[in-house]
Amino acid sequence: MLHKDTVINELWDLLQKLMQDEKLKDFILVGGTALSLQIGHRISVDIDLFSTKDFDYKSISQHLKQKLNANVKEMFNNTILMDINQVKVDIIAHKYPLQKEILHIDNVRLASLEDIGAMKLHAIFQSGTRIKDFVDMYFLLEHNPLQTYLDAYKNKYNGNTALASYALTFYENIYRDFDVTLMHGKESNWERMKERLEKAVDNPSFKFDLEPDKKIDQHVRKRGIRR
């Protein structure tokens, strides 16, 4: 069962509509929202739908304009960037092989943790600007050792795992003003997060223990993590 408390109701309702749309049958949910729904570690606010196939971006964008009043911000070959009911939605052809079977949970098609981990490593290696990618890797390490994600990254992107590992410990490019809202009293100390990431790079086969949820005052909103 998915952690629906990590997304707002409007996003969940929209996601259900998109998943049931015949024109989007080849797309799966990836990124932070796919991860948050599976492991429940943080709030996520957008929808990333990827396909491993080419698609007719003009036809799909027009369809979503008519059906869901989509506000298309940008579109070009195999890419549509839009807002639907104030939810950011990216629809993209990401033509790299899936490492595990697609998950089907609560009427949602989701990428596996292995594929999400590979994508996160790819994003960190390419830019390393978003703290949420590092935070997501911190929590992914509670489910599989780093080596699992490095192997998936290598197989998916033909990537250099040594460079990907180095990127996981390089923090100078992270934007300082991006906020991540964690759930259930999860670890929010950036220094401790860095310590885990660096330990994982030193020992990629080590699997970290799952961090237990903590009881927090429901009237106090968990403060986000910043670099």
Each residue's pLDDT expressed in tens, for the chain with a length of 227 residues: 999 999 999 999 999 999 999 999 999 999 999 999 999 999 999 999 999 999 999 999 999 999 999 999 999 999 999 999 999 999 999 999 999 999 999 999 999 999 999 999 999 999 999 999 999 999 999 999 999 999 999 999 999 999 999 999 999 999 866 679 999 888 788 999 999 999 999 999 999 998 777 643 333 334 455 54
Domain span at 190: 113-202
**Res 99: pLDDT:** 98
Angle at CA 205, nearest 5°, toward 200 and 210?
A: 65
Count H helices and E strands in the chain, helices first: 8, 7
Domain membership of residue 123 (yes or no) is yes
Verify that 74 and 36 share a domain, yes or no.
Answer: yes
Residue 44, CA distances (Å) to 76, 139, 147, 159 in order? 26, 14, 26, 27
- Where helices occur in 141-189 by DSSP H, the ranges are 146-157, 161-167
How many domains, in total, are found in the chain? 2
Whether residue 90 is found in the same domain as residue 174: no
Asked if the structure places residue 226 within a domain, the reply is no
